[in-house]
Chain A
Amino acid sequence: MSWFNKEKAGIEKSVAKKSRVPEGMWTKCPGCSETLLATEIDANLNVCPKCGHHYRIAARRRLEALLDGATWQEFDAGITSVDFLEFKDAKSYQERINAAVAKGGSKDAVICVQGAIEGVNVQVSIFDFSFMGGSMGSVVGEKITRSIERALHLRQPAIIISASGGARMQESILSLMQMAKTSAALAKLKEAGLPFISILTDPTTGGVTASFAMLGDLNIAEPKALIGFAGPRVIEQTIRQKLPEGFQRAEYLLDHGMVDIIIPRTEMRAKLASILKMLHSPAI
């Protein structure tokens, strides 16, 4: 669809300017204009200690903050995307995959681990937005589906932490099918009475929002995260009007009944633990 990913480039650029913790010792917070020590923000999980502005945070750093100790185990880390359509615009898809892998982080846009939150064992999938804008192709869909199936098999809750521009255009129809595949796995989890918690972070749009990200028993958002189906620019072009203030931000979705709760990053682990313990009593 013409709006999947459409806003990606724009959002990446504009948010990158203001929302990543800048290099260097001192930085001016875009939320409150205070001058802060970069290390101070970093120690606070990339949240401004003064005003609570949420900078983006690396996927692995978030996992470290969320899970108990070093007890987690990663699954399917080696699966990589393949350019089966020989998709080419300015660069070929294969070149884009290679460039993203060469950055040395993840081999695709999602990391799947088994870990524990205050002793509750969970299956967690977390998007790595730095890998092609967190876009979902076969690998992302497959790893998330396996993660949900592991949750089903081990009778554990599943958690997905989304940050994605949506479906990956370079895999065309098969990216689209990942929406159906992952949602079908969630149907099984629901039937088995196991919790699924969706955590929506900045930004979550397109095919990811329109599949598992909106299907949580609880949908939890981070403050001010951009969450939507169509990108803001596509909507503006369609309706030829300016969008209302705060449109598609977490608070707007809360007001419209689409998310259950907004939880600041610094409170996420404690809150999640409390919720999980109420929803799920693990088999002994």
Chain B
Amino acid sequence: MANNFNLEFEKPIVELEKKIEELSMLALDGLDIAADVSALEGRVEQMRADIFSGLSRWQTAQVARHINRPFTLDYINHMFTDFTELHGDRNFGDDHAIVGGLARFNDQPVMVIGHQKGRDTKEKVYRNFGMPNPEGYRKALRLMQMAEQFKLPVITFVDTPGAYPGIGAEERGQAEAIARNLREMASLRTPIIVCITGEGGSGGALAIAVGDRILMLEHSVYAVISPEGCAAILWSDGTKGEQAAEALKPTAQDIIKLGVIDEIVKEPIGGAHRDHEATARNMKEAIARNLAELSKLSEEELVEGRYNKFRAMTRCLE
């Protein structure tokens, strides 16, 4: 993957990498600098590990939105075989911000569903920047109910800034579509594994994120509102995202303490955007392990366990 987009805090790494490249050019002139180059390379790796192990919440939010971060179709490519995409909500249209279909996971037939973002401008527009309309959620629900009918596990990938806030979305019942998914997913009689892979943007994310196991990539975020949105309301200043990110505590490391997710999935050093294959490998291992555990449960145990899981998500004083 061409790393043609760098985040502010990645700049020291990029500069060091440039120096190594320049040095390597000298080697072409016959200078013996192999030892220097390898020492510098070691330093780069160390620097990368240091920077990414100490990301602030605001920096994590930026990594979660990195344009080269793997998207749902990338995971499908790396982790599944025989993917057949299925389209449409049977009511109004096909939403390109959510993809889904039948596929095999380690040979087992499953239903895979996820938000889909675009990388170049044309694809970003085509995918509506990963912000679904009601049709997207209704397509997702249709596919989940199909999975239930044919006793296939459901695996979802969550990565959206949020549900689309447009006139058409309101007219066609954005709120109803999300709400219905929450209720129906709660009682779906088949295993559901949710992978938060990038931005978990509020209700637009949750609408495909009610499951038996919630896995979350190391540098992804999940919150009730985006840092910018929160800043615009509480600080009356949309540029105070950094403070809002600290207040919202949206990282995997924050959230696991509240019992909202089950497991943090490691990313390669330097973030998922540096190595799609390795990221997918880690995610695949986690999904396979959880799926094996869930497949031992009866439908009743699954649904009851899922109810109790969300039922316990409360912090209050009595």
Contact = CB atoms under 8 A, between A and B. Distances in A.
Nearest to A257: B173
Interface residues of B, number: 62
B202 A184 contact: no
Nearest to A181: B310
Interface in A80-113: 80-82, 84-85, 87-90
A203 interface: no
Nearest to A256: B171
Interface stretch (A21-29, A42-50, A240-248, A267-275): A240-248
Contact of B229 (A2, A82, A145): A2
B157 interface: no
Interface stretch (B20-28, B44-52, B76-84, B158-166): B158-166
Contacts of A139: 316
Interface centre among A6, A209, A230 (most CB of B within 10 A): A230
Contacts of B165: 3, 229-231, 234-235, 238
A187 B179 CA distance: 11
Contact of A5 (B167, B201, B233, B313): B233
A191 B167 contact: no
15 contacts: A1-B163, A4-B203, A4-B225, A82-B317, A169-B230, A174-B315, A180-B186, A184-B183, A184-B210, A188-B307, A191-B187, A213-B179, A229-B165, A243-B167, A258-B176
Interface residues of B: mostly helix, strand, loop or mixed? helix
B286 interface: no
Contacts of A185: 311
Given A167-B224, A169-B224, A84 B247 contact: no
Nearest to B178: A210
Interface of B: 161-167, 169-176, 178-180, 182-184, 186-187, 201-204, 206-207, 210, 222-226, 228-230, 232-235, 243-244, 247-250, 254-255, 258, 260, 306-307, 310-311, 313-318
B307 A184 contact: yes
Nearest to B303: A187
Nearest to B312: A181
A172 B175 contact: no
A181 B201 CA distance: 18
A176 interface: yes
B311 A181 contact: yes
Q: Nearest 6 CB-CB pairs, A to B?
A: A2-B229, A1-B202, A230-B165, A184-B186, A1-B162, A183-B182
